[in-house]
Chain A
């Protein structure tokens, strides 16, 4: 199993600003993922954070808007840049292989005003 922490747990931000979300895992993991969950919606994968290389982004998400860092095997950050109210959502990091259980962090609840 893996224990994941995220910071901040919630934030209220003004449009046009940026927020960096941190994800810390208690053990070394190969695969880390960033998801978005908007109210009443499903989990949407933003990107896979790769250690030592650029993140792999899903369709509809770009590096300029959601830059990701993965400096080591236990830590990653997701930045939500130039925010708009449409970015209001819960952002979740998770770890795990595709064919096994994924462990999720507690989430970061972001409100953009």
Chain B
């Protein structure tokens, strides 16, 4: 089967660092995406990892380990506006190629 696991909810403090984990079990793997979705809005792209390692983009970084079926999104210097849902999605380029989406992690940033 195809499965993506993320924590349902997380809470952090403004200015702190938070790590959101994503584990996946899919029949194929050709890349992993992270999206941010504020309440009532559409998802917006954050990162795309194909190879193992850490990709840094400003306050956000994303890590991938293909052998472990594991990724994390690291948010530094948290701001109130980072309160949102963070969606992990795996791209499977197999016979039925598509994106497989996790349920998302709802992050609340408190002052």
Contacts and interface: CB of A to CB of B under 8 A. Distances in A.
A13 B45 CA distance: 32
Nearest to B8: A40
Contact of A41 (B31, B41, B48, B103): B103
Interface of B: 30-31, 33, 41-45, 48, 50, 87, 89, 91, 93, 97-99, 101-104
Contacts of B45: 101-103
Contacts, number: 46
A92 interface: yes
Dominant secondary structure at the A interface: loop
Nearest to A59: B96
A43 to B, nearest CB: 4
Given A98-B91, A99-B31, A101-B48, A106 B101 contact: no
Contacts of B97: 98
B64 to A, nearest CB: 14
Nearest to A92: B42
B93 A98 contact: yes
A67 B98 CA distance: 20
